[in-house]
Amino acid sequence: MKKPIFKIFILLLVLIGAGMLFASLRSGNGTASVKNTANHPVINAAQDAGALFSKDASVPFQFSTGNLTGTITQHAISPAKDADYILAHYKACGPKYRPASYFPEMASTMKKLPETAYSFGSFQIVLIPNLLGYKNFPAIQEDFFSCPDSTGTLVSAAMNDNWLVFTRSCASGDQECAAASAVISPTIQVK
């Protein structure tokens, strides 16, 4: 007689647990979720996921998402797209006083560097090691140019001797990206 009571007790526990799990999945509590795919802990916060994400010592810059809700993901990306853009457009949109070999050499070096993207919806922050040797921010702004009407290009945001931090320009009509950029871009700083 003890076995049937034990089985009923276990069944009740399973049903209660499943019901609690289902209820927690259905009840969105408005939290922002920070997910770092580089094996860092997941952080849940009601506000400013960017500030919490920035507390991670392995992230060399900081930023704020204000009251925006969303998920921040970190992932490695290929620098080829950005290097190819510079190669294809430096004659039309780049600074004219650079030597002819400057941008091809820069693009060649860029293709060897790792890029890390931090995405918040369709908005992106891109981190590149400063192995190109930049010493001042205006030089980065000139070299990482954007032709009129171009989207998806690197826009310089911050730098130090070790890191270059960019945002990626939003696609035309991407209101989510534009809203995130308006809040996040002005807050980006290298640690």
- Give the pLDDT confidence score for residue 47 in this predicted structure: 67
Assign 75 a pLDDT band (cuts: 50, 70, 90): very high
| Rounded Cα distance, 151 and 153, in Å | 5
Residue 50 has pLDDT above 60, yes or no: yes
The confidence score (pLDDT) of residue 57 equals 87
Q: What is the pLDDT of residue 54?
A: 87
Residue 186: how many other CB atoms lie within 10 Å? 11
The first and second tokens of residue 118, run together, are: 């931090």
Q: Provide the 10 A C-beta neighbour count for residue 89.
A: 16
d(CA 74, CA 126): 10
Backbone angles phi, psi at 73, to 5 degrees: -120, 145
Residue 128: half-sphere exposure toward Cβ, Cα within 13 Å:
28
How many residues in the chain? 191
Indicate the pLDDT class of residue 48, thresholds 50, 70 and 90. Answer: confident
Tokens of 116: 């890390």
What distance in Å separates the CA atoms of residue 82 and residue 66, rounded to the nearest whole number? Answer: 29
CA distances from 33 to 9, 138, 141, 175 (A): 36, 35, 32, 21
The whole-number pLDDT of residue 99 equals 94
pTM given for the model: 0.74
Encode pLDDT of 76-135 as tens digits.
Answer: 999 999 999 999 999 999 999 999 999 999 999 999 999 999 999 999 999 999 999 999
What token pair was written down for 94? 């780049």
Residue 184: partners with Cβ closer than 8 Å, 6 or more residues away:
50, 63, 64, 65, 66, 68, 120, 123, 125, 167
Question: 103 — phi, psi (to 5°)?
Answer: -70, -35
Pairing relationship of beta strands 71-77 and 32-34 according to DSSP bridges: parallel
pLDDT in tens, 125-175: 999 999 999 999 999 999 999 999 899 999 999 999 999 999 999 999 999
